[in-house]
Chain A
Amino acid sequence: MKRVLKLGTLQSRIYTIFTLMIFATVFIMQLVSFRFTMSTVINSTLENNRILLGQLVSQIDSYMLGMEQIAHAVQDDPEIIEYLQHKDSGSPVEYNSIQQRLGNYIHARNDISDIIIVGNGGAVITGDPDSSLNPWTDITQKNWYTDALNSSGETVISSSYVQNIVQNRYSWVISLSKEIFSVDNSKSIGVLLVDLKFNQIKDLCQSLVVGSKGYNFIIDSDRNYIFHPTQQLIYSNLRNEPIDSIYSLLNSSEQKFYHAEGKYFMIETSAITAWHVVSVTYDSDIITDWRFVQISYAIIALILFLVVGFATNRISTGITKPVRKLLAVMKSVDTGEFRLVGPIKATDEIRELAREYDLMVGHIRNLMNENIKEQELKRKSDLKALQAQINPHFLYNTLDSIIWMGEMKQTREVVLMTSALSKLFRISISKGREFIPLVDEISHVESYLTIQKMRYKDKFEYSIKIEPDLYRCTILKITLQPLVENAIYHGIKEVDHKGKILITGKEIDGIIKLEVIDNGKGMTEEEMKNLNMSLNGSPSPSVLSRQGLGVHNVHERIQLYFGKNYGLTYFHAEGGGTRLTVQIPLEEVEV
């Protein structure tokens, strides 16, 4: 049986439906779980980024807090207050000592660019004794100065900008400025400026980034950029950040990030500076390993497909294989060969089906055998009846001959013929037995020949040469007489010369071979072939014209009793004429 997928078979249906269903299930499952994994990874990455952003903001805050503490320390320095309150009467020594103090504060931390105190009257104390003030700029016009005066003692934190207060020095700073009050807090005596190196903030922002491309930027509450790694691109409109969408995150408690152009934006506000720090993460940095995940998923799916495929294959074959076997066995009925399925490996239903089928076939076989036997019996009894009948013409003719010989007073001939006729009848009947000893059969045919020879007035002569060892063997009664009758009527009667009939009998390899040979008309090759063939079928009228029904019946009877290996065969006899042989099995008669 070829195992190829054929549409329309049960196996292919089961296979196709199962495979499709399971493949689709695996497919959808993989897609869903991949999507889920992806969103989980993205969310956890973003959550980590949020923590990082929170750290950045708190670092900025604590940094600014530290700066404010320094501002407080400077502001509360009694010597400085003392100096500012009495600067008109102050000595240069005092100025220098204050400058030194400021210098100490600056050097205490490497992130302070400058500390400057501006007195009420415009006197400026810088922390660096070597620097000189920029003569072309007006301190009182600076934002940090005016803002400090306007905010009554609160610390003012500026945006990032370029400080030009010291000549020939343009440094990027963030300024903390504060109004200084006299000891009794009664009146303003000046403004303190602490400039932080902007690089500190910049480095902070650039150190806490995610991935190879991610970055942070800072905007103040007026939406001015305090820090952006590519500020120049922003100002030249070569790059834009979606500030409005990012700002809307501040008012939304649910939405934690904004996603656009392959980037995730998150915003966090610094409590001290009121700056908004935005962290930007690129998709490509989150999903660097997705190709690997994707391949893993595909491989898992492949394994599932294979396992499921093989399993489906096994299941569908398991169901259909016994059915196919059953089918093959059932097909044998077509050829008349009733095969049994026998024990079969299959599900209960199929096993039951096979068993019922076997039972059914068994019944059919029995019925058929019985039928054949009945037919044979019927045929045997038919033939027996036929065989027992003596041709009435033969009887009339013989009786006419007897009458005629009686009238002629040929008493010896009358006795001879009558006794032969009597013997003929006695053996024909044989008390109803089918089988008789060969010796009886010989006397039966001899009686027949005696009568015929007398009737045909020595038209022919005969001789019987049968081995005497065979006399006690059994034979179907009335086997030889029809053959001899045939030899006379269809052989000798047709020719003018004196006929001869020879009956021989011998044993060859457990088979008795009897032959009736005549020197009559004989037949052509064609006729002989037809006769031999017609022996095994029903005789056609043209054949019957050449051969008596009796011969055919003898052949049929022998075959019914002994099988197809036995029966009659026509041959050409030497010197013309016909040789008809009979083969029957050698059986001793039971005594």
Chain B
Amino acid sequence: MKNWYLFILSLVAAFVLFIALSFFYNQNTSKGLELAEPIQIVLKSIEGQPMDFWDVVNQGIDEAAKEFGVQVKISGPRFEKEINRQINILNAVIDDKPPLIILAANDYNRLVESVEKADSLGIPVITIDSGIQSDIPVSFIATNNKIAGEKAGKEMKNLIALNTEKYIAIVSHIKETSSAIDREAGVRNSLKGQDIIGTWFCDVDPEKAYLITLDLLKDKRIGGIVALNEVATIGVARAIKEKKASDRVFVVGFDNAVKELSYLEEGIIKATVVQRPYNMGYLGVKTAVEYLKGEKVDSYMDTGSILITKDNMFKREYQELLFPVSN
């Protein structure tokens, strides 16, 4: 028998053995996703207000990145209102040609162009928290703001029933942000038949929200204010506390800054609708990994919202949500 023949036979047998050995342990170790470049994440704000919310989103992102073994790179403007800056950052990120971009859009319309550019370069986009006016993003992971707004509106409806004054005002954050639009729609949906006197925009500035509220309090018929985000809620609550109007004007807010929770304990705010930012970050990265692995992903995922009142704020299951354990 020729030697080369034997050599090939041995090689084949050794290779078969190699494959056979794989069966002993490979079934449980799902293959990790190998990416040359990190997944790029562009958030609404990375160090400005509101801090807590995006910190928790970051925690969720980090946990998912660790669990699925992928690299992520987080960037974003300092403040939510810096829309142009976010567009620039997104464009710079697109130039890096990442495998995927996760975006929390600061504007419903103005980021569409950049996302279209990413799409033309074959970079998939997933939006979290706030979407854009486009079908391009492969998935949108956010609180269903309409449902969240409905929860706030429903609570306001219950509260206003106990109040003598029935006028309700809405203090929103930014006019063209999808979260503001949807929440307001949800609130108005639940408050059908109630006297909503109008919507004011504070442009994510607590001072402006405070001033708006001071103005609103001059109208004695006001019985309730729905504040649509953290900054607006804090501004509104500060004015109410200052004017000692908590028995006259009931406030339902959004989000869970420490200050808000303090106001909630104090009774200045009657209820707040909180989101699950941790899940948003976690599911954003998880969905990105699933998409990059070629799995089918849902085009829309609701991360859910919870109505928190003074009664349930210290319930064990909501504590991590309301009081994130700092690292």
Contact at B13–A162, with CB atoms within 8 Å? no
Q: Is A305 an interface residue (CB 8 A)?
A: yes
Q: Write out the residue numbers on chain B whose beta carbons fall within 8 Å of the beta carbon of A224.
A: 316
Q: How far is the CA of A550 from the CA of B317 in the complex (A)?
A: 137
Contact flags B297-327 to A (C-beta < 8 A → 1, else 0): 0000001100000000010111111110110
Decide yes or no: A202 and B325 within 8 Å by CB, A23-B13, A134-B265, A306-B6 being known contacts: yes
Q: How far is the CA of A31 from the CA of B7 in the complex (A)?
A: 21
Contact flags A286-318 to B (C-beta < 8 A → 1, else 0): 010010001101110110011001100100000
Q: Is A153 an interface residue (CB 8 A)?
A: no
Q: Write out the residue numbers on chain A whose beta carbons fall within 8 Å of the beta carbon of B10.
A: 302, 305-306, 309
Interface pick from A43-51, A230-238, A444-452, A485-493:
A230-238
Q: Write out the residue numbers on chain A whose beta carbons fall within 8 Å of the beta carbon of B240.
A: none
Interface size class of chain B, counting residues whose CB lies under 8 Å from the partner chain: 35 or more
Contact at A236–B279, with CB atoms within 8 Å? yes
A308 to chain B, nearest CB (A): 9
Contact at B261–A136, with CB atoms within 8 Å? no
Q: How far is the CA of A89 from the CA of B220 in the complex (A)?
A: 50
Interface pick from A164-172, A405-413, A561-569:
A164-172
Contact at A310–B283, with CB atoms within 8 Å? no
Closest A residue to B26 by beta carbon equals A290
A179 to chain B, nearest CB (A): 23
Q: Is A30 an interface residue (CB 8 A)?
A: yes
- Tell me which of A159, A172, A299 has the highest count of chain B C-beta atoms within 10 A of its own C-beta: A172
Closest B residue to A231 by beta carbon equals B320
Q: Is B258 an interface residue (CB 8 A)?
A: yes
Contact at B325–A305, with CB atoms within 8 Å? no
Closest B residue to A19 by beta carbon equals B9
Q: Write out the residue numbers on chain A whose beta carbons fall within 8 Å of the beta carbon of B266.
A: 136
Q: Is A161 an interface residue (CB 8 A)?
A: yes
Q: Is A378 an interface residue (CB 8 A)?
A: no
- Pick the contact of B11 from A4, A172, A302 — CB < 8 Å? A302
A409 to chain B, nearest CB (A): 102
- Tell me which of B13, B67, B69, B317 has the highest count of chain A C-beta atoms within 10 A of its own C-beta: B13
Contact at A161–B9, with CB atoms within 8 Å? no
Contact flags A250-289 to B (C-beta < 8 A → 1, else 0): 0000000000001000000000000000000001100100
A226 to chain B, nearest CB (A): 10
Decide yes or no: A172 and B325 within 8 Å by CB, A302-B10, A305-B13, A309-B10 being known contacts: yes
Contact at B22–A294, with CB atoms within 8 Å? yes
Q: Write out the residue numbers on chain B whose beta carbons fall within 8 Å of the beta carbon of A15.
A: 1
Contact at B17–A297, with CB atoms within 8 Å? yes
Q: Is A213 an interface residue (CB 8 A)?
A: yes
Contact at B29–A313, with CB atoms within 8 Å? no
Contact at A3–B325, with CB atoms within 8 Å? no
Contact flags B2-42 to A (C-beta < 8 A → 1, else 0): 11011101110111111011101100111010000000000
Q: Is B85 an interface residue (CB 8 A)?
A: no
Contact at A34–B21, with CB atoms within 8 Å? yes
Contact flags A136-151 to B (C-beta < 8 A → 1, else 0): 1100000000000000
- Pick the contact of A4 from B2, B30, B323 — CB < 8 Å? B2
Contact flags A1-43 to B (C-beta < 8 A → 1, else 0): 0011100000110010001000100010011001100100000
Q: Is the interface of A mostly helix, strand, loop or mixed?
A: helix
Closest B residue to A232 by beta carbon equals B278
Q: How far is the CA of A30 from the CA of B24 in the complex (A)?
A: 12
Q: Write out the residue numbers on chain A whose beta carbons fall within 8 Å of the beta carbon of B25.
A: 38, 283, 287, 290
Q: Is B200 an interface residue (CB 8 A)?
A: no
Q: How far is the CA of A31 from the CA of B19 in the complex (A)?
A: 11
Closest A residue to B264 by beta carbon equals A136
Q: Write out the residue numbers on chain A whose beta carbons fall within 8 Å of the beta carbon of B283.
A: 238
Q: Write out the residue numbers on chain B whose beta carbons fall within 8 Å of the beta carbon of A4.
A: 1-2
Q: How far is the CA of A372 from the CA of B33 in the complex (A)?
A: 92
Contact at A164–B265, with CB atoms within 8 Å? yes
Q: Write out the residue numbers on chain B whose beta carbons fall within 8 Å of the beta carbon of A229.
A: 63
Contact at B319–A298, with CB atoms within 8 Å? no
Closest A residue to B9 by beta carbon equals A309
Closest A residue to B63 by beta carbon equals A230
Q: Is B146 an interface residue (CB 8 A)?
A: no
Contact at A30–B17, with CB atoms within 8 Å? yes
Q: Is A120 an interface residue (CB 8 A)?
A: no
Contact flags B54-93 to A (C-beta < 8 A → 1, else 0): 0000001001001101000000000000000000000000
- Pick the contact of A313 from B6, B30, B262, B326 — CB < 8 Å? B6
Closest A residue to B68 by beta carbon equals A213
Contact at A213–B66, with CB atoms within 8 Å? yes
Decide yes or no: A294 and B1 within 8 Å by CB, A137-B265, A170-B261 being known contacts: no
Contact at B63–A162, with CB atoms within 8 Å? no
Decide yes or no: A232 and B21 within 8 Å by CB, A5-B5, A136-B266 being known contacts: no
Q: Write out the residue numbers on chain B whose beta carbons fall within 8 Å of the beta carbon of A233.
A: 63, 278-279, 282
- Pick the contact of A34 from B24, B258, B320 — CB < 8 Å? B24
Contact at A298–B21, with CB atoms within 8 Å? yes
B99 to chain A, nearest CB (A): 21
Q: Is A369 an interface residue (CB 8 A)?
A: no
Q: How far is the CA of A212 from the CA of B67 in the complex (A)?
A: 9
- Pick the contact of A31 from B15, B20, B317 — CB < 8 Å? B20
Q: Is B276 an interface residue (CB 8 A)?
A: yes
Q: Write out the residue numbers on chain A whose beta carbons fall within 8 Å of the beta carbon of B14.
A: 298-299, 301-302, 305
Q: Write out the residue numbers on chain B whose beta carbons fall within 8 Å of the beta carbon of A172.
A: 319, 323, 325
Q: Write out the residue numbers on chain A whose beta carbons fall within 8 Å of the beta carbon of B7.
A: 306
Q: Is B267 an interface residue (CB 8 A)?
A: yes
Q: Write out the residue numbers on chain B whose beta carbons fall within 8 Å of the beta carbon of A397.
A: none
Q: Write out the residue numbers on chain A whose beta carbons fall within 8 Å of the beta carbon of B17.
A: 27, 30-31, 297-298, 301
| Interface hits, B194-211 → A, CB 8 Å | none
Q: How far is the CA of A431 from the CA of B285 in the complex (A)?
A: 131
Q: How far is the CA of A134 from the CA of B2 in the complex (A)?
A: 91
Contact at A309–B6, with CB atoms within 8 Å? yes
Q: Is A217 an interface residue (CB 8 A)?
A: no
| Interface hits, A158-203 → B, CB 8 Å | 159, 161-162, 164, 167-168, 170, 172, 198-199, 202
Contact at B279–A213, with CB atoms within 8 Å? no
- Pick the contact of A170 from B279, B282, B323 — CB < 8 Å? B323
Q: How far is the CA of A168 from the CA of B2 in the complex (A)?
A: 86
Q: How far is the CA of A231 from the CA of B14 in the complex (A)?
A: 47
Contact at A35–B13, with CB atoms within 8 Å? no
Q: How far is the CA of A262 from the CA of B10 in the complex (A)?
A: 34
Contact at A232–B314, with CB atoms within 8 Å? no
Decide yes or no: A162 and B279 within 8 Å by CB, A38-B25, A213-B66, A283-B25 being known contacts: no
Q: Write out the residue numbers on chain A whose beta carbons fall within 8 Å of the beta carbon of B15.
A: 298
Decide yes or no: A136 and B265 within 8 Å by CB, A164-B314, A306-B7 being known contacts: yes
- Pick the contact of A136 from B1, B3, B267, B303 — CB < 8 Å? B267
- Pick the contact of B6 from A287, A290, A310 — CB < 8 Å? A310
Contact at A298–B265, with CB atoms within 8 Å? no
Contact at A35–B24, with CB atoms within 8 Å? yes
- Pick the contact of B325 from A27, A31, A199 — CB < 8 Å? A199
20 contacts between A and B (CB under 8 A): A11-B1, A12-B1, A15-B1, A31-B21, A31-B24, A38-B25, A136-B266, A161-B319, A167-B262, A198-B325, A232-B278, A236-B276, A238-B279, A238-B283, A283-B25, A294-B21, A298-B15, A301-B14, A306-B7, A309-B10
Q: A164-B314, A301-B17 are in contact. List 6 more A-B contacts (CB 8 A).
A: A3-B1, A27-B13, A27-B16, A212-B66, A233-B63, A238-B283
Residues of B within 8 A of A (CB): 1-3, 5-7, 9-11, 13-18, 20-22, 24-25, 28-30, 32, 60, 63, 66-67, 69, 258, 261-262, 265-267, 276, 278-279, 282-283, 303-304, 314, 316-323, 325-326
Instruction: In the A-B complex, list the 10 residue pairs whose CB atoms are closest, starting with the nearest.
Output: A305-B10, A302-B14, A298-B18, A232-B278, A262-B28, A309-B6, A162-B323, A231-B320, A136-B265, A294-B21
Residues of A within 8 A of B (CB): 3-5, 11-12, 15, 19, 23, 27, 30-31, 34-35, 38, 134, 136-137, 159, 161-162, 164, 167-168, 170, 172, 198-199, 202, 212-213, 224, 229-233, 235-236, 238, 262, 283-284, 287, 290, 294-295, 297-299, 301-302, 305-306, 309-310, 313
